[in-house]
């Protein structure tokens, strides 16, 4: 008898079809208007030959310990071991590093979403463990939008607060006239969310904006980064010129006119920063 069980992942909700404790497939949830096909891969990811099912240790390390750093590293085989042996090896190595070099010699840098939900977040669990074990060195920010995390507090405010207050697509459809996109709004990126997605509705939201008369401009190397239905004007900038385009747009928008209220436009708050960048002043932002 096939059971259908509601499940969820980074790629959205679905119905797991299970027979005799074996997953047959994950079908789309009927309430999801634009489900991701990535959920179709669950069966293969569970039962495929590429899945790592047990801990494995580099052969040289298993035989000779941490002093095994010859040229075979990166070339030799990995040997499967039991969970008990793997845990003993990790515990012994952490103790050796702590005793010999201190906690500052341990970098807790695993990055990955792991399972949907916060408890199964791999990086959080790793850092909790290393903190309890005596401390570690961590990184700051992330590789996705670290520039925004660093720069925005000096210009318009904290990045995460602006994310919370982001304008909803239904508001754009009701009151907007123009959407300028850098890198477009590729639907492949809207399939996934760290805590999971209940309903994939960005495609419908974009189409609703276009049907309401909103114009789209897509600055991107790929025309396909904007869904065809919005009929976006495509402008492919030369590599490395996107920041200059953004600064030019910001400077133009910071010039008062009858259509912009300076008391309600965050761009006016950035005017002094833009001028410092132009003049090479002390407050100018630099890149390397």
Q: Strand runs (DSSP E) across 71-222, as ranges?
A: 78-80, 178-182, 215-219
DSSP one-letter string for 186-213: -GGGGG--TT--S---HHHHHHHHHHTT
Contact at 8 Å (CB) between 136 and 112? no
Pairing state of beta strands 178-182 and 215-219?
parallel
* HEC profile of 40-70: HHHHHHHHCCCCCCCCEEEHHHHHHHHHCCC
- Which residues are known to be catalytic? 111, 113
Contact at 8 Å (CB) between 107 and 101? no
């Amino acid at each position: 008898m096939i059971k259908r069980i509601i499940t969820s992942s980074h790629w959205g909700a679905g119905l797991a079809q299970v027979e005799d404790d074996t997953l047959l497939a994950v079908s789309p949830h009927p309430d999801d208007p634009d489900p991701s096909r990535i959920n179709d891969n669950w069966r293969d990811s569970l039962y495929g030959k590429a899945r790592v099912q047990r801990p494995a240790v580099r052969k040289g390390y298993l035989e000779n310990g941490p002093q095994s750093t010859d040229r075979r590293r990166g070339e030799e085989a990995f040997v499967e071991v039991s969970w008990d042996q793997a845990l003993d090896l990790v515990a012994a190595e952490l103790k050796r590093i702590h005793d010999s070099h201190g906690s500052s010699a341990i970098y807790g840098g695993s990055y990955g979403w792991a399972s949907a939900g916060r408890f199964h977040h791999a990086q959080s669990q790793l850092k909790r463990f290393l903190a309890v074990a005596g401390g570690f060195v961590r990184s700051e920010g992330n590789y996705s939008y670290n520039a925004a995390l660093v720069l925005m507090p000096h210009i318009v405010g904290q990045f995460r607060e602006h994310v919370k207050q982001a304008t909803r697509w239904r508001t754009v459809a009701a009151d907007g006239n123009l959407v300028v996109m850098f890198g477009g709004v590729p639907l492949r990126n809207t399939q996934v969310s760290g805590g999971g997605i209940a309903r994939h509705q960005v495609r419908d939201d974009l189409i609703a904006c276009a049907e309401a008369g909103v114009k789209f401009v897509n600055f991107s190397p790929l025309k396909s980064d904007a869904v065809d239905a919005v009929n976006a004007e495509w402008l492919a900038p030369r590599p490395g010129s996107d920041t200059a385009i953004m600064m030019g747009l910001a400077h133009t928008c910071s010039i008062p006119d009858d259509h912009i209220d300076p008391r309600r436009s965050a761009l006016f708050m950035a005017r002094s920063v833009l001028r410092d960048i132009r003049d090479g002043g002390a407050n100018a932002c630099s890149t390397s």
